Amino acid sequence: EFRRVLFRSLRRRTRVSLYYDNNRSGFNGKRIAKNLVQRKGLNRFKWNTEPVPAGTYHIYAVANDGRNKTKTYSSGPVKIVH
């Protein structure tokens, strides 16, 4: 099963890695994708959730423009059911 992950950027030339976490704190989850090219505006990623255990997760992004690193959790959880 696939889930669509949407994220928005105000800057160009940024790399982003996506993670899922069982809580919304600590930024200590498991990586979904690494070093995606982030474009200005709305970005999309197709996440294969098949290997992910059923449960409720919070997605977060780590964006890096080469000078600054920003971490942000999603506004709501994602429920994975197999």
pLDDT tens profile 30-45: 999 999 988 778 888 9
Say which residue the tokens 């950027």 belong to.
9
Query: Considering just the CA atoms, what is the radius of gyration of the chain in Å?
Result: 12
Q: Across the chain, how many H-helices and E-strands are there?
A: 0, 7
Inter-CA distances, 5 with 29, 58, 67, 70, 80, Å: 16, 11, 25, 18, 13
Model pTM?
A: 0.86
Residue 61: per-residue pLDDT = 93
What lies within 8 Å, CB to CB, of 76 at 6+ separation is none
Using pLDDT thresholds of 50, 70 and 90, give the confidence band for residue 11: low
